[in-house]
């Protein structure tokens, strides 16, 4: 072997070894570990009881995630934002500060990105905040954070979302109804806006469009609205962004005994609890193991429930009815529908087929195109609402 | 390359010249590091950092929902919530033999003088304090730590195994 | 060589083209010499020797078990590739894709059945092949390493079957793997790590399904292919299949070969360097005993393939592979049983997980691999059971172990440690149970045989036969005599 080969061998060996160590370092030294380190230090300073101190000592660097049930979201925000659920961090600097409490919106059920947007699966700051190419839902800022509320809370005043309410009002006052239709109400001159927030997620586009429709949509006959003050255009944009598909799985319902197939809705190894808990109680002396006849343990009950919820949103029921604060105010509130006497499965199925025949004076349209089993599934859902 | 015989040695007069052995040695070290290293990294790769299984900590409802003296079987979470006079304990329902879910507790019967749980897979029998009364199970059932979540509900941590005398008083 | 090249027929003209001749350099062989020449110029055929000793062709010598194993492997590869076009390795879709194969895919049901039955067949036949090789003493030098490779291949076959077992994601699959991976977690210190690696987590879920899928369709077949290649290479280099030593021609069966073979021109190897050692030529010891592989080996091999194919087809057409309900982790079936080839193990594990799950399998593998290094005797290679005495030892070992096993189990059922003293420490239960006692009994018996006869080979025969008998008995018990709660049931 000539010296040249030897030199090549030695140098390449060194280079490759160096690349390996670089790769090793890059995998080890993660951005989120630095945030966690800072958090653990902060947590250590705040620890008062023996249990709290033990918890700090047991801390390890690890990825933490909230799987949002019924969706494919895997929110990893809390890997860095570790203090959101802990009231002790109300005075801490970001990203550790406690999140203000929103009643009835537990983290383990909603996650973060349903309301804040951003890239759920990412584990670096820039990517997680989503202001990167090929991610359409960057973190919402300012009043735009009120938009996601409107995806579920379709009617009335939503606490904490005044700009959204203003946007809804302006939509009516400024005559948008004349040309645009939302959930069946409005004119047909312009496009249907029921789901525009899912199609057009860029706030700048909306503002631009309001000011100069022809520039963003060539051939449009919509008159420009640039005479409106900036604040109003913003409010309208907030409203536009709120017009999206409602995640049906997040609708309220009474938990059903889950004998469901082991289809993995992704759940995590996070410090966050799961919502539905099945109980089989055996009290000594009387043992009462549930027998196979127990209806709550019907196999597939959970699957039927999620199908019912999907149908409920697909057919537009939330437009008129409210469940757990979500939905419109045209028809009756269904939050406790299951407790109403005299309404069994048969009643509900009949009502779906021809509402006016069952409830005199009802303006609810009949659910004509649904199969028998779909009607049954919806009826079961109604009965489950307690 | 054809081996044309022994290579000429490095002339000793050029003392500062890097020796053949050093070059070869460096080369081989580098080679080994850059092959064995990734091999070991591949082993690390195979161990997952996130798993899509049930969370290890979860809330199991309020203390009031569990009657005194009860042993409530939570099927999906695979554990029992025991409410004794002294307080609460969470007993694993995963049989220590081959990890089937053992059955709910039934009152004393036959040769068993205390309430017992029977595993359907190979017939291991467990007492309420986790002891193995019979069967191929090699160890008693584990107890998990019970604590209180910030919202006042009971919190069970299946990643924290505690002794059978570790009782959570509300 | 005789062919139609250059003639004026269409075939002749095609075969005269440069394209054809670049692919098929010689014509179809007509003489024995040409055939043998083709055997080593053709890529596929050169796996086989050009000439073969008639002893290899005796059905009652090998029962063709190795080749059947190979054919089943080929069928499994082909059916497996095809199944991959429809099967989806996701917990949400796996079961559905199995149903699709069963109901909606042309020949889907047949392919799936063929795959399943070939898999079970292969586990059984590879095991029988191992028995054949053992009983004919074919692990003796120079074939020790090939024997070790064979043990590894057997383990790979079991692992391949095990990983495939999970893929349908039905109750049968899910719980068999739950039991199996739990058994795998019993070795001290490393057991839990092994389990996490296998499952990609802590429970049988999407991680496990994906890993088992990758192992089953990619990693394990690749390793199998590699080891098989070396296994065949070794067979060639070790001088072909083993045969009894005898006077030249004494045991040779000429199998109807009439013409003496004509010596062709000798090859020259001007480019080869001179190396020391014995000639690598196969059968150099007695070339006059050998007969051309084509047709005497090749043709029976083709017929054998047809036999295997026919059996697999019949099974595939008339018997459906099982598919129970969708996997449900909240409802373990009662009882939850491992795949049939692991049921004997599960029976042992139900007495002591440590002994049944770790000690016995560990000793089994090590014991098997060490046989050729323990038995260094020279006589009897190539003869079933080595000698009449060997036959007796084997027979008695098998006949005695079966009732011994049953006796131990019955004793344990009535007077087992846990039955008499419910508070007994686990160590005592691990010490006094059918698994340990069986192990000790078989070991003692074999040592006794070896001591009394002065022959390690006979001791090995005793050990192997006892193990074989116990394995089958335990498997039968686990299959037919264990019911819900792993209680005793009568199978009728």
Query: Could you list the pLDDT tens digit for every one of the 386 residues in chain A?
Result: 688 999 999 999 999 999 999 999 999 999 999 999 999 999 999 988 887 888 888 889 999 998 888 788 899 999 999 999 888 999 999 999 999 988 888 888 899 999 999 999 999 999 999 999 888 899 999 999 999 999 988 876 788 899 999 999 999 888 888 889 998 888 888 999 999 998 999 999 999 999 999 999 998 888 888 889 999 999 999 999 999 988 777 777 655 433 222 222 222 222 233 333 334 333 333 222 332 333 333 457 777 888 888 888 878 788 788 888 788 778 888 988 888 888 888 999 999 988 888 888 888 888 877 888 889 999 989 988 88
What is the per-residue pLDDT for C273? 60
CB contact under 8 A, C202 and B51: yes
What is the per-residue pLDDT for A67? 87
Using the predicted structure, report yes or no on whether residue C112 has a pLDDT greater than 90.
yes
**Which residue do the tokens 């009439």 mark?**
C258
Is the alpha carbon torsion for A207, A212, A217, A222 positive or negative?
positive
User: Residue C279 has which token pair?
Assistant: 């000639």
CB contact under 8 A, B98 and C349: yes
Lowest mean pLDDT of A205-219, C213-227, C255-269, name the range. C255-269
Test mutation, A63, A261, A262, A268, chain C, max C CBs within 10 A? A262
Strand stretches in chain B, DSSP E: 57-59, 70-74, 79-84, 87-92, 116-118, 125-127, 132-134, 143-148, 154-162
Which of C206, C328, C331 is closest, CB to CB, to A264?
Answer: C206
Chain C partners (3+ C-beta pairs within 8 A): A, B
Question: Contact, C295 vs C51, CB < 8 A?
Answer: no
Which of B53, B101, B123 is closest, CB to CB, to C332?
Answer: B101
Chain B residue with minimum CA distance to C180: B98
In angstroms, what separates the C-alpha of C145 from chain B's closest C-alpha?
26
Test mutation, B54, B56, B78, B99, chain C, max C CBs within 10 A? B99
Lowest mean pLDDT of A191-200, C145-154, C349-358, C466-475, name the range. C349-358
What is the per-residue pLDDT for B80? 93
Q: Is C275 helix (H, G, I), strand (E, B) or coil?
A: coil
Quick one: fold of A299-386? Cytochrome Bc1 Complex; Chain D, domain 2 (1.10.760)
> Contacts of residue C88 in chain A, CB cutoff 8 Å?
none
What is the per-residue pLDDT for C270? 53
Strand pairing class (C51-52; B116-118): unpaired
CB contact under 8 A, B52 and A266: yes
Euclidean distance between CA atoms A357 and B160, whole angstroms: 59
> Contacts of residue B94 in chain C, CB cutoff 8 Å?
none
Strand pairing class (B154-162; B70-74): unpaired
Euclidean distance between CA atoms C170 and C166, whole angstroms: 8
Q: Is B58 helix (H, G, I), strand (E, B) or coil?
A: strand
CB contact under 8 A, B29 and A13: yes
Q: How many CB pairs under 8 A join A and C?
A: 22
pLDDT tens digits, C160-193: 999 999 999 999 999 999 988 988 888 888 999 9
Euclidean distance between CA atoms A23 and A306, whole angstroms: 44
Half-sphere exposure of C372 (CA within 13 A, CB side): 21
CB contact under 8 A, A67 and B52: yes
CB contact under 8 A, C201 and B48: yes
CB contact under 8 A, B104 and A51: no
Euclidean distance between CA atoms A351 and A368, whole angstroms: 11
What is the per-residue pLDDT for A43? 92
Euclidean distance between CA atoms C88 and C83, whole angstroms: 10
CB contact under 8 A, C326 and A258: no
| Residue C19 CA from chain centroid, whole number | 42
Query: Partners of C291 in the beta sheet?
Result: C52
What is the per-residue pLDDT for A9? 93
User: Residue A254 has which token pair?
Assistant: 């009474």
Question: Contact, C356 vs C435, CB < 8 A?
Answer: yes
Euclidean distance between CA atoms A356 and A368, whole angstroms: 13
> Contacts of residue C210 in chain A, CB cutoff 8 Å?
none
User: Residue C164 has which token pair?
Assistant: 């495939």
Euclidean distance between CA atoms A212 and A209, whole angstroms: 5
Peptide bond into C335 cis (omega under 30): yes
What is the per-residue pLDDT for C261? 45
Question: Contact, C369 vs C110, CB < 8 A?
Answer: no
Q: Which CATH superfamily is domain C59-245+300-333 in?
A: Cytochrome Bc1 Complex; Chain C (1.20.810.10)
CATH 2.60.40.420 at A143-242, yes or no:
yes
> Contacts of residue A259 in chain C, CB cutoff 8 Å?
328, 330-331
Which of A14, A264, A287 is closest, CB to CB, to B52?
Answer: A264
Strand pairing class (B79-84; B57-59): unpaired
> Contacts of residue B122 in chain C, CB cutoff 8 Å?
335, 350, 485-486
Chain B partners (3+ C-beta pairs within 8 A): A, C
User: Residue C492 has which token pair?
Assistant: 């009728």
Test mutation, B42, B55, B121, chain C, max C CBs within 10 A? B121
The 10 Å Cβ neighbour count of residue C389 is 15
Using the predicted structure, report yes or no on whether residue C1 has a pLDDT greater than 50.
no
Strand pairing class (A322-323; A74-75): unpaired
Which of C201, C335, C418 is closest, CB to CB, to B134?
Answer: C418
Query: Partners of B134 in the beta sheet?
Result: B125
Test mutation, C175, C204, C350, chain B, max B CBs within 10 A? C350
In angstroms, what separates the C-alpha of A262 from chain C's closest C-alpha?
5
CB contact under 8 A, C183 and B98: yes
CB contact under 8 A, A261 and C326: yes
CB contact under 8 A, C183 and B51: no
CATH 1.20.810.10 residue ranges of chain C are 59-245+300-333
In angstroms, what separates the C-alpha of C189 from chain B's closest C-alpha?
16
Is the alpha carbon torsion for C284, C285, C289, C293 positive or negative?
negative
Question: Contact, A66 vs A109, CB < 8 A?
Answer: no
**Which residue do the tokens 């109901």 mark?**
C103
Euclidean distance between CA atoms C176 and C174, whole angstroms: 6
Query: Partners of B116 in the beta sheet?
Result: B106, B127
User: Residue C69 has which token pair?
Assistant: 């194993």
How high does pLDDT run on average in chain C? 86
Half-sphere exposure of B70 (CA within 13 A, CB side): 18
In angstroms, what separates the C-alpha of B65 from chain C's closest C-alpha?
23
Strand pairing class (A326-327; C291-292): unpaired
> Contacts of residue C91 in chain A, CB cutoff 8 Å?
262-264
Euclidean distance between CA atoms A104 and A324, whole angstroms: 9
Q: A-side interface with C, Cβ within 8 Å?
A: 258-259, 261-264, 299
Euclidean distance between CA atoms C79 and C75, whole angstroms: 6
Mean pLDDT of B58-67: 86
Euclidean distance between CA atoms C49 and C238, whole angstroms: 12
What is the per-residue pLDDT for A278? 37
User: Residue A189 has which token pair?
Assistant: 């001159």
Residue boundaries of the structural domains of chain A = 31-139, 143-242, 299-386
Question: Cα angle at C490 between C487 and C491, to 5 degrees?
Answer: 110
Question: Contact, C397 vs C443, CB < 8 A?
Answer: no
> Contacts of residue B52 in chain C, CB cutoff 8 Å?
201, 205-207
Q: Where do runs of H (alpha helix) occur along C63-106?
A: 65-83, 94-103
> Which stretch of DSSP H or E encloses residue C94?
helix C94-103
In angstroms, what separates the C-alpha of A181 from chain C's closest C-alpha?
38
Model ipTM over 0.90? no
Question: Contact, C238 vs C141, CB < 8 A?
Answer: no
Euclidean distance between CA atoms C487 and C479, whole angstroms: 12
In angstroms, what separates the C-alpha of B127 from chain C's closest C-alpha?
12
Lowest mean pLDDT of B20-34, B57-71, C275-289, name the range. C275-289
CB contact under 8 A, C332 and B48: no
Mean pLDDT of C137-154: 93
Euclidean distance between CA atoms B101 and B79, whole angstroms: 9
CB contact under 8 A, A259 and C326: no
C246 or B122: whose pLDDT is higher? B122
Using the predicted structure, report yes or no on whether residue C397 has a pLDDT greater than 50.
yes
In angstroms, what separates the C-alpha of C171 from chain A's closest C-alpha?
11
Strand pairing class (A181-182; A185-186): antiparallel
The 10 Å Cβ neighbour count of residue C230 is 15
User: Residue A113 has which token pair?
Assistant: 């990105």
- Whose CA is closest to B98, among C162, C208, C179, C336? C179
Question: Contact, B70 vs A284, CB < 8 A?
Answer: yes
Is the alpha carbon torsion for A192, A193, A194, A199 positive or negative?
positive
What is the per-residue pLDDT for C159? 96
Alpha carbon distances (Å) from A211 to A216, A236, B148, C309, C415: 10, 12, 54, 75, 91
In angstroms, what separates the C-alpha of B53 from chain A's closest C-alpha?
5
Question: Contact, A10 vs B28, CB < 8 A?
Answer: no
- The span from the first CA to the last CA of chain C, in angstroms, equals 66
CB contact under 8 A, A262 and C206: no
In angstroms, what separates the C-alpha of A9 from chain B's closest C-alpha?
5
What is the per-residue pLDDT for C357? 84
Q: Is A82 helix (H, G, I), strand (E, B) or coil?
A: coil
C112 or B16: whose pLDDT is higher? C112
Chain C residue with minimum CA distance to B56: C202
> Which stretch of DSSP H or E encloses residue A327?
strand A326-327
Q: How many CB pairs under 8 A join B and C?
A: 80
What is the per-residue pLDDT for C423? 66
> Contacts of residue A13 in chain B, CB cutoff 8 Å?
26-31, 33-34
Alpha carbon distances (Å) from B99 to B122, C212, C332: 11, 19, 10
Question: Contact, A377 vs A311, CB < 8 A?
Answer: yes
Which of B26, B107, B155 is closest, CB to CB, to A14?
Answer: B26
């Amino acid at each position: 072997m000539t010296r040249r080969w030897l030199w090549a061998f030695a140098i390449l060996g060194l280079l490759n070894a160096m690349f390996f160590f670089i790769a090793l370092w890059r995998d080890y030294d993660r951005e989120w570990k630095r945030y966690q380190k800072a958090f653990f230090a902060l947590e250590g300073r705040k620890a008062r009881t023996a249990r709290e101190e033990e918890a700090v000592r047991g801390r390890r660097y690890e990825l933490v995630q909230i799987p949002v049930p019924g969706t494919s979201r895997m929110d990893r925000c809390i890997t860095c934002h570790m203090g959101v659920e802990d009231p002790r961090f109300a005075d801490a600097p970001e990203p550790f500060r406690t999140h203000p409490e929103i009643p009835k919106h537990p983290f383990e059920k909603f996650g973060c990105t349903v309301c804040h947007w951003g890239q759920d699966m990412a584990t670096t700051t820039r990517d997680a905040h989503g202001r990167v190419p090929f991610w359409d839902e960057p973190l919402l800022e300012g009043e735009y954070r009120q938009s996601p509320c409107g995806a579920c809370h379709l009617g009335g005043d939503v606490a904490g979302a005044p700009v959204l309410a203003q946007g809804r009002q302006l939509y009516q006052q400024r005559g948008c109804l004349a040309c645009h239709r939302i959930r069946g109400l409005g004119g047909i001159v312009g496009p249907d806006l029921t789901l525009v927030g899912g199609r057009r997620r860029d706030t700048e586009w909306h503002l631009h469009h309001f000011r100069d429709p022809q520039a963003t949509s060539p051939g449009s006959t919509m008159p420009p609205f640039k005479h409106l003050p900036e604040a109003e255009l913003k409010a309208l944009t907030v409203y536009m962004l709120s017009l999206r598909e409602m995640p049906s799985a997040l609708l309220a319902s009474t938990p059903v005994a889950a004998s469901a197939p082991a289809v993995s809705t992704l759940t995590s190894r996070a410090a966050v609890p799961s919502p539905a808990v099945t109980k089989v109680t055996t009290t000594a002396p009387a043992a009462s193991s549930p027998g196979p006849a127990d209806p709550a343990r019907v196999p597939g009950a959970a699957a039927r429930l999620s199908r019912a919820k999907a149908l409920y949103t697909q057919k537009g029921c939330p437009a008129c009815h409210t469940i757990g604060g979500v939905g419109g105010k045209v028809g009756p509130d269904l939050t406790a529908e299951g407790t109403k006497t005299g309404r069994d499965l048969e009643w509900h199925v009949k009502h779906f087929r021809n509402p006016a025949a069952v409830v005199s004076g009802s303006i609810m349209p009949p659910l004509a195109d649904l199969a028998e089993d779909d009607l049954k599934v919806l009826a079961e859902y109604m009965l489950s609402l307690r | 390359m054809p081996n044309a015989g022994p290579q000429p040695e490095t002339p000793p007069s050029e003392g500062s010249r890097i020796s053949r052995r050093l070059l070869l040695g460096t080369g081989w070290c580098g080679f080994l590091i850059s092959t064995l290293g990734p091999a070991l990294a591949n082993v690390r790769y195979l161990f997952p950092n996130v798993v899509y299984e049930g969370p290890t900590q979860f809330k199991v409802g309020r203390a009031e929902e569990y009657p005194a003296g009860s042993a409530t079987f939570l099927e999906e979470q695979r554990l029992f919530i025991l409410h004794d006079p002294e307080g609460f304990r969470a007993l694993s329902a995963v049989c220590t033999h081959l990890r089937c879910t053992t059955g709910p507790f039934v009152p004393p019967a036959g040769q068993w003088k205390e309430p017992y749980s029977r595993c359907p897979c190979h017939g291991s029998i467990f007492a309420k304090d986790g002891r193995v009364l019979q069967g191929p199970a090699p160890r008693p059932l584990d107890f998990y730590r019970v604590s209180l979540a910030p919202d006042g509900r009971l919190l069970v941590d299946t990643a924290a195994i505690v002794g059978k005398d570790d009782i959570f008083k509300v | 060589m005789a062919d139609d090249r250059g003639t004026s027929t269409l075939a002749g003209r095609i075969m005269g083209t440069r394209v054809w001749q670049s692919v098929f350099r010689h014509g179809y062989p007509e003489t024995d010499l040409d055939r043998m020449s083709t055997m080593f110029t053709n890529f596929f055929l050169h796996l086989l020797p050009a000439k073969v000793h008639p002893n290899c062709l005796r059905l009652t010598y090998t029962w063709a078990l190795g080749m059947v194993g190979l054919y089943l492997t080929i069928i499994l590869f082909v059916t497996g590739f095809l199944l991959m076009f429809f099967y989806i390795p996701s917990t949400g879709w796996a079961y559905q894709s199995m149903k699709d194969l069963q109901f909606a895919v042309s020949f889907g049901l047949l392919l799936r059945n063929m795959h399943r039955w070939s898999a079970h067949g292969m586990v059984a036949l590879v095991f029988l092949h191992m028995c054949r090789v053992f009983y004919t003493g074919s692990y003796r030098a120079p074939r020790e390493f090939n024997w070790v490779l064979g043990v590894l291949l057997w383990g790979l076959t079991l692992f391949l079957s095990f990983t495939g077992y999970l893929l349908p994601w039905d109750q049968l699959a899910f719980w068999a793997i739950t039991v199996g991976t739990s058994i795998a977690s019993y070795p001290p210190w490393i057991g839990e790590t092994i389990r996490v690696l296998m499952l990609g987590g802590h429970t049988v879920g999407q991680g496990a399904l994906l890993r088992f899928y990758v192992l089953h369709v990619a990693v394990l077949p690749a390793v199998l292919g590699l080891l098989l290649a070396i296994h065949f290479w070794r067979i060639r280099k070790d001088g072909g299949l083993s045969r009894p030593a005898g006077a030249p021609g004494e045991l040779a069966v000429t199998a109807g070969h009439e013409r003496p073979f004509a010596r062709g021109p000798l090859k020259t190897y001007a480019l080869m360097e001179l190396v020391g050692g014995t000639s690598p030529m196969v059968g150099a010891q007695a070339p006059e005993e050998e007969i051309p592989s084509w047709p005497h080996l090749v043709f029976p091999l083709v017929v054998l393939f047809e036999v295997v194919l026919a059996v697999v087809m019949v099974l595939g057409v008339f018997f459906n592979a099982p598919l129970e309900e969708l996997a449900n982790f909240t409802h373990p079936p009662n009882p939850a049983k491992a795949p049939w080839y692991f049921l004997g193990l599960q029976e042992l594990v139900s007495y002591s997980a440590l002994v049944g799950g770790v000690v016995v399998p560990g000793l089994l593998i090590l014991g098997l691999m060490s046989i050729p290094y323990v038995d260094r005797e020279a006589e009897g290679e190539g003869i079933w059971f080595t000698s009449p005495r060997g036959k007796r030892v084997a027979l008695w070992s098998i006949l005695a172990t079966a009732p011994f096993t049953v006796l131990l189990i019955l004793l344990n059922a009535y007077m087992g440690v846990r039955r008499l003293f419910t508070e007994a420490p686990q160590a005592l239960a691990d010490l006094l149970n059918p698994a340990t006692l069986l192990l000790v009994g078989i070991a003692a018996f074999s040592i006794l045989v070896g001591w009394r006869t002065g022959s390690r080979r006979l001791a090995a025969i005793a050990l192997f036969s006892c193990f074989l008998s116990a394995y089958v008995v335990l498997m039968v018990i686990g299959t037919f005599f264990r019911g819900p709660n792993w209680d005793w049931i009568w199978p009728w």
